[in-house]
Structure 1
Amino acid sequence: MSRKVAVVTGSSSGIGAATARLFARKGYDVVINYSRNPEPAHAVADECRALGAEVLVLRANVADDADCRALAQAVEEKWGRCDALVNNAGTTKFVAAANLEGLSGQDFHDIYDVNVVGAFQMIRALAPLMKRHPGAGIVNVSSVASVSGIGSSVAYMASKGALNAMTFGLARVLAPEVRINAVGPGMVETPWLQNGLGAERYEATRQAYMKSTPLAATIQPEDVADACFWLCDGARKTTGEFMLIDSGRVKFPLL
């Protein structure tokens, strides 16, 4: 097979959908992954096919190891290769950081199961396939919340910090055949975030974010997709890095 293959988890909307479309546009065949509702996933798949890609639409809950291994097996049977993995699937619970009683131990477990354990299980399932094609790349979609102390909840911030640490550790383990990096988006304009914050709070947060960044801009899903593609397909000497995509919010705050 001459065409490369990309697996993007949580790719039925938002960052994942934008990333899948970009890989398709750049000549990759793609796996569209969803955990609940198949309809948006099939809509993204149709867009990718229109861009010339061959597509597999696969349901998998990344928190379930058996689902991750089944997805990897389906990719091997279909194409016999995997050149890029973008671990985008994620979850949170919207709880103000000061509300310590708003999070239970189970909330932490639920969020870690997807954001950390799920990413690990996908990497473990696909690593043997990826190592067959040296130069393959993995990107873990983390968050600016992992280094800013601001996010949807303390559990979410902590999970993304753990994801960063896991990325650094696996960069040693998977080398030299496979590179692995993480990206840390700032405020990404998606319906998921708007639904989580509510319309009024979302708009206030968006305006405040733009005022506090040197580039005076929030982040679009396509901005994150650009970084994910470059780290997978290019960046041949880059591994174990954490790249902020936040309009300069963390390093050069204006407020």
Structure 2
Amino acid sequence: MVGFSDMNVIVTGAATGLGAATAIGLARAGVSRLVLNYSSSKEACEATAEACRAAGAHVVRVVQGDVSSDEDCRRIVTAAADWGAVHALVNNAGTTMHVPHGALDQLSADDFHRIYGVNTVGPFQMVRAARSLLEAGANAWGIPASVVNVSSIAGISGIGSSIAYVGSKAALNGITLSLARALAPLIRVNALCPGYMDTPWFVKGTGQDAADKLRESVKQTTPLNAAPTPDDVAEAAVFLAGPGSRFMTGEIVPYDAGSRLTGPGPRKR
């Protein structure tokens, strides 16, 4: 069976949070060639690249791009073109707004378009841009290449930072199923649905005090009494990207410490 060292991987939204943790986790697993994308945080993404190199990756390329732009998606993929193949694409780039679900007047059509553009259209455009390289990776590997769409438990349970965010992730789950059917047998496509993750998103969106209270609430209310970190969730992303999950496709995978079992609760990532 091929190992991670045979893989060329693209990770979008790799500057911080789950994207950075996944990129570093892939490097630790043995991936030697990575393309890391960022939208605005160049310094943070360069730091992630250095951490990947320290973890063993031999070639790490950093590319700026907004995945809501098809031109930018194609440019991100072009950074891996000279490798001749891509074996995994992790669509992690995402955005949101923190708006109470009952505050309908606080969400505009432009807000929906922006959130859908990054969270839903972006992954589709990345897959379309990378399709030929992913198919080449499957042919070189002898097993399907992998696409990991980072979705959210919000898209399953209807809870999250805003209704627009919920809708974008539910749509991404549906697109995952369609792409899994359309791209088989050379490319497999799965969605990873984290619940709460202890990331700067919550501090940025709600403030430090509210973020601290949310973390403690999650620990008390999830069946596993846990508030996962990006490093925790990255382990699942690495598994879905790697050869150990080679017979999985079209799966919508919750990774939420069991929070969906408890019904509506605190806002999730």
Matched, 1:83 2:87: yes
Partner residue, 1:236: 246
Distance 1:170 1:189, change over 3 A: same
* SS in structure 1 of the partner of residue 6 of structure 2: coil
CA distance in 2, matches of 1:196, 1:97: 15
Partner residue, 1:10: 13
Please, which of 185, 194, 198 is the counterpart of residue 194 of structure 2? 185
Please, which of 43, 59, 64 is the counterpart of residue 69 of structure 2? 64
Residue-by-residue CA offset, 1:49-85 (whole Å, 9 max, x unaligned): 11221100111110110111112122112x2211111
CA distance in 2, matches of 1:114, 1:137: 20
Tell whether the 8 Å contact from 1:141 to 1:182 is kept in structure 2 after alignment: yes
Matched, 1:207 2:211: no
Tell whether the 8 Å contact from 1:212 to 1:254 is kept in structure 2 after alignment: no
Partner residue, 1:143: 152
Shift of 1:252: 4.8
CA distance in 2, matches of 1:87, 1:193: 21
* SS in structure 2 of the partner of residue 240 of structure 1: coil
Please, which of 17, 22, 30 is the counterpart of residue 19 of structure 1? 22
CA distance in 2, matches of 1:55, 1:67: 18
- Identical positions, percent: 47
Shift of 1:254: 10
Structure 2 counterpart of 1:65, which letter?
Answer: D
Structure 1 residue runs without a partner (length 5+): none
Matched, 1:166 2:171: no
Please, which of 97, 101, 109 is the counterpart of residue 97 of structure 1? 101
TM-score by length of 2: 0.91
Tell whether the 8 Å contact from 2:159 to 2:264 is kept in structure 1 after alignment: no
Structure 2 counterpart of 1:85, which letter?
Answer: L
Tell whether the 8 Å contact from 1:188 to 1:221 is kept in structure 2 after alignment: yes
Tell whether the 8 Å contact from 1:212 to 1:253 is kept in structure 2 after alignment: no
CA distance in 2, matches of 1:250, 1:40: 32
Shift of 1:229: 1.2
Residue-by-residue CA offset, 1:146-186 (whole Å, 9 max, x unaligned): 12222110000000000000000000011001110001111
CA distance in 1, matches of 2:264, 2:64: 43
Partner residue, 2:235: 226
CA distance in 2, matches of 1:52, 1:248: 34
Shift of 1:192: 2.0
Partner residue, 2:132: 128
Shift of 1:27: 1.6
Q: Count the aligned residue pairs.
A: 253
Matched, 1:73 2:78: yes
Runs of 4+ in 1 over 2 A off after TM superposition: 251-255
Shift of 1:251: 2.6
Structure 2 residue runs without a partner (length 5+): 139-143
Tell whether the 8 Å contact from 2:155 to 2:167 is kept in structure 1 after alignment: yes
* SS in structure 2 of the partner of residue 31 of structure 1: strand
Distance 1:217 1:253, change over 3 A: farther
* SS in structure 2 of the partner of residue 132 of structure 1: helix
Partner residue, 1:153: 162
Tell whether the 8 Å contact from 2:67 to 2:118 is kept in structure 1 after alignment: yes
Please, which of 194, 197, 210 is the counterpart of residue 203 of structure 2? 194
